[in-house]
């Protein structure tokens, strides 16, 4: 007999998401019950954006256990690797992986309020900056990555993303060349590779009592710290224009100060990437990011 909780959810899930792997989700939910020796009593689709390559579910069990179930089409080492990497920070503010199977992972659910639903007061900014600085305090192990390789990949990304922005008239061809020129002039010696979060947005940070927890760590890895900080500031500006406050407190907590050139380039790179991704993947135009990108491009430093 079909599961009385899972079956109705999958029926609704399949209608609203015809490209999602319904049969795979059914099997994974059943396997989770068996592995955790617990019965599913509620399932909710909490995938941030419609996307065929990933499904994120909140699953409640009869014992009172609540978990976050992440399913990906591709089976990569990101789940296990990110869990190990956040352990290097030495803080207990990350969800632990309870099951790590073939292409899917069950994480503990962190109860609390995401920063999206909270004010960016000085205490919140301080906690966030401290956590981001804790990521960047972890040095890149030898032979893991080099500034030359990362910057080569970044420049390659720009050559793919910028033509999209020009084609859709987000920026002009000359502005595109200005971004490329700025990236080419970025000093390799100033590119500090550290452990980075990759998606340090208010939507991925939860207040749990006095603690601030990072709940989405799949992009954790080694990259250039300035990029991670500028990407975070962009997310925080989009939230409530608190990016400068975050960067200022981050500099205090980490002892790292971003040069104007580095801050400008990495902000432009992040915005270009985000805008082009949303256009190509979802047909959406993020007005905030587009406005900010154009404002940055008008700075005299690019002249």
Helix (H, G, I), strand (E, B) or coil at 48: coil
- Domain range for 104: 6-108
Contact call for residues 61 and 40 (beta carbons, < 8 A) = yes
Q: What is the pLDDT of residue 1?
A: 38
CATH of the domain at 87: 3.30.200
Task: State whether 261 and 130 are in the same domain.
Answer: yes
Among 76, 108, 140, residue at a domain's last position: 108
pTM: 0.88
Q: What is the pLDDT of residue 20?
A: 66
- Picking from 48, 75, 108, the residue at the C-terminal end of a domain is 108
pLDDT digits (tens, 9 = 90+) for 191-226: 899 999 999 999 999 998 888 999 988 889 999 999
39-50 pLDDT, tens digit each: 999 999 888 776
pLDDT value of position 303? 46
Pick from 108, 141, 160: which residue ends a domain? 108
- pLDDT, average across residues 57-83: 80
Residues 71, 137: one domain? Answer: no
**Does 60 lie in the same domain as 142?**
no
Split at pLDDT 50, 70, 90, the class of 190 is: confident
For the chain, how many structural domains are there in total? 2
> Are 197 and 159 in the same domain?
yes
Burial label for 77, CB within 10 Å (0-12, 13-18, 19+), is exposed
Write down the pLDDT at residue 52.
63
pLDDT tier at 163 (50, 70, 90 boundaries)?
A: very high
Q: Tens of pLDDT along 287-303?
A: 999 999 999 998 755 54
Query: Residue 277: its pLDDT value, please?
Result: 92
Q: Both 267 and 212 in a single domain?
A: yes
Helix or strand run (H / E) with residue 17: none
Q: Is the pLDDT of residue 66 over 90?
A: yes
- The number of angstroms, rounded, from the C-alpha of 137 to the middle of its chain's C-alpha atoms is 19
Higher pLDDT, 17 or 6: 6
């Amino acid at each position: 007999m079909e599961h009385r909780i899972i079956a109705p959810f999958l029926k609704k899930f399949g209608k609203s998401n015809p490209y999602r792997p319904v049969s795979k989700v059914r099997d994974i939910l059943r396997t989770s019950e068996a592995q955790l020796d617990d019965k599913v009593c509620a399932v909710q689709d909490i995938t941030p954006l419609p996307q065929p390559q990933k499904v994120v579910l909140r699953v409640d069990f009869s014992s009172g256990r609540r978990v976050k179930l992440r399913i990906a089409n591709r089976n990569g080492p990101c789940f296990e690797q990110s869990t190990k990497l956040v352990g290097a920070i030495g803080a207990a503010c990350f969800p632990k992986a309870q099951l790590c199977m073939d292409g899917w992972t069950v994480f503990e659910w962190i109860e609390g309020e995401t920063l999206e639903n909270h004010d960016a007061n000085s205490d919140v900014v301080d906690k966030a900056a401290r956590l981001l600085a804790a990521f960047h305090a972890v040095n890149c192990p030898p032979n893991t990555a080099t500034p030359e390789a990362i910057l080569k990949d970044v420049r390659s990304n720009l050559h793919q993303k910028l033509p999209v922005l020009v084609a859709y008239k987000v920026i002009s061809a000359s502005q595109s060349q200005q971004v490329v020129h700025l990236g080419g002039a970025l000093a390799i010696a100033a590119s500090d590779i550290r452990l980075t979060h990759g998606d340090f947005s208010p939507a991925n940070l939860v207040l749990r009592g006095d603690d601030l927890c990072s709940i989405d760590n799949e992009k954790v890895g080694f990259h250039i710290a300035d990029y991670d900080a500028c990407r975070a500031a962009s997310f925080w500006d989009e939230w409530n224009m608190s990016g400068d406050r975050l960067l200022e407190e981050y500099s205090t907590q980490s002892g790292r100060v971003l040069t104007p050139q580095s801050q400008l380039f990495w902000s432009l790179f992040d915005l270009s990437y985000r805008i082009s991704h949303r256009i190509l993947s979802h047909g959406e135009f993020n007005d905030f990011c587009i406005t900010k990108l154009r404002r940055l491009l008008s700075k005299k430093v690019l002249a």
